[in-house]
Structure formats: structure tokens, C-alpha cells
Structure 1
């Protein structure tokens, strides 16, 4: 589970009673798509004919540009997660990362789902004994991609939700 029992109002859109602006919501979607795309090859190398995760990443970006509806984007994310279900290991986690990225359009807090699943994908693909090192490297890469205006918010949210995100955001 990656969503908290109690929502942080800073990650709830203004129109739903929180303080997250539409601009920042869209930036979170782009960041989540970037995290998912970084590990997409881990899915595609063994599932090259299945475009659902790639489609979800593109849907997240299309929504972020204001060119797609939230419900359509969320549905495409669900299809990517459907691609993940029968799989194991890195490919499964990479597909889930893509699905989570598209679902940011619906619930901004899915951003950490995309990031956490991407880290799990890298850990699963790493040589035995190098999983933690690979995960930290991926986490650090992701953090360098966070838009400056959202950096503090995302880092605080990672600390707050680390325990429900498989502790992948630890040092």
C-alpha cells in the first residue's frame, strides 16, 4: 500500500479541499512519468510487444499538458498495472511504476507509487548483494529530477510515507 490513511492537504488539489495547485499537480505527474520511464526498459526487454506501460507514461504526460481527461488517464494507468499482474521481478515493478504515474492524474499521491515501484524494479534487476546500492542510486537519480518548486514537499512526503513504500526512500 502506498497511500496513507490520512491525506496530507498539500497533496490534495485545491478543487478537492487541499492546497495543491493545478500546476504543481501536473508537475508531480511529469516527475512520476520520468521516474517510470527511467525503468521502462526493465519491462520492455521481456515484454516488448506490450505497450500498456509506455502508453501509461505518455498518458501521464498528455494529461500534464492539459490534453487528456483525468478518467481516461487513470484508466490507461489501470491497464499498465494489468500488464504487471502476471509478471514477477523487475518487469512487474516497472509496469506498476508506469501505471502509478498515470494514476497521479486522479490522486497526486500516486507520485510516490511510481517512484517506489521504479526503485523496486531497479533493486529486483540488480546483482545479488547490490540491491540496496542500486535502489539508493535510483532514489538519488529520482530526487535530482524533482522540480525545484516541489522538492521540499516530495522529500517530506517520502519521509512520511517511507514505511508504507517498502522503506525504499531510506538512506
Structure 2
């Protein structure tokens, strides 16, 4: 079995990916904060993602806040709060999208958006419309970055299915 080659990612491409993920996560942060009033971990992760997206150096701040927000997601009182914290964690983690040609890396690009889609679905919204709207918000160079990675395989979990739907939509978004 051969290993796929690594790919090149510029700092500006990484910032664009982090910006997209942070914009998605920002939609869900109020959901978390209304459910878990005294926990700043998701907000700190989102702030770290935004700082990187806006020009700050990629640092240990993104990693540590991402891990802390993942812990907040595990401790969340319900699925919606869990997804909100996870979106913030993944936004901070987007700064560490690896230049490895592996489908698992697609989660760094799209998992925050998949969380938004899942929360919308749980609220009774038309998930196809939400996926299309999120895909349209993935501004260049995000679709081009995504196309460098292999397509992810769907899993049994609904979040994985939504990630695949978003992947399909975003890969074609600036080609329309």
C-alpha cells in the first residue's frame, strides 16, 4: 500500500479554513452559553480560532483551547450544547489542519459546519437547505483546499453523514 503524498497549504489557506470554521461555530456559541452559564472554554476556543484567522500566529493557544472545549463538549448536559462546544473546539483545531492527503483531515475543515447543520436539524429545520447555505458560505479558497483531500467516507453517526453532505456541497460550491 502506498501512502498518498503530502500537500501544500499556505498560511492564508489555513486562516481561511479557520475563519470558515469559526464563523460556523459562532452561530452555536450562544446555545452553549445559555445552557452552561459559567463555562468559558468554548468561547476561549472560538476566540483563539478567530485570532489565528485574523492574523495572529498559530500557537499552543489554539491547541489547548480546542482540547478544553472538547472536554466541555463531553461534559455538556444535552446534545445541542455538546454540538455547540464541539463546533468551537473544532474551529480552534482548524488552525492545525495537517497537510496530509487523508480524508480524516476533512473534519478540520467541515466539522464545525456539520455541527451547525445537526443543531438545525434537531430544531426541525430543513437540513438540505442548511447544508446548501453553509456550503455557499465556504468562500474561496476553502473549496479548493478541500478538493486537495480525499473525500471522507460516511459513518453511522448523523454528524458523519452531515459532514459528507457538506463535503459534497462545498467541493462543488465555487465550480457552479
| TM range, smaller chain | 0.7 to 0.9
Q: TM-score, normalised by structure 1?
A: 0.75
Question: What is the root-mean-square deviation of aligned Cα atoms in Å?
Answer: 2.7
Q: Does 1:144 align with 2:136?
A: yes
List runs of 5+ in structure 1 lacking aligned partners: 1-5, 10-16
**Deviant stretches of 4+, over 4 Å:** 6-9
Give runs of aligned pairs for residues 123-138 of structure 1, distance below 5 A. 123-124=121-122, 126=123, 130=124, 133=126, 135-138=127-130
CA 1:8–1:121 in 2, change beyond 3 Å: closer, same or farther?
farther
Task: Judge conservation of contact 1:84–1:95 (CA < 8 Å) in 2.
Answer: yes
Contiguous gaps of at least 5 residues in structure 2: 99-104, 170-176
Structure 1: distance between partners of 2:4 and 2:43: 29
Aligned mates of 1:7, 1:31 — CA distance in 2: 29
Tell me what 2:36 maps to: 47
User: Could you tell me how far apart the structure 1 residues matched to 2:11 and 2:30 are?
Assistant: 30
| Matched ranges for 1:11-160 at <5 A | 17-87=6-76, 88-107=78-97, 109=105, 110-124=108-122, 126=123, 130=124, 133=126, 135-154=127-146, 160=151
Q: Kindly tell me the number of residue pairs found equivalent between the two proteins.
A: 152
How far apart are the structure 2 equivalents of 1:19 and 1:56? 25
Q: TM-score, normalised by structure 2?
A: 0.73
Per-residue CA distance 1:125-150 (angstroms, 9 max, x = gap): x1xxx36x2x3333222212111333
SS at match of 2:154: helix
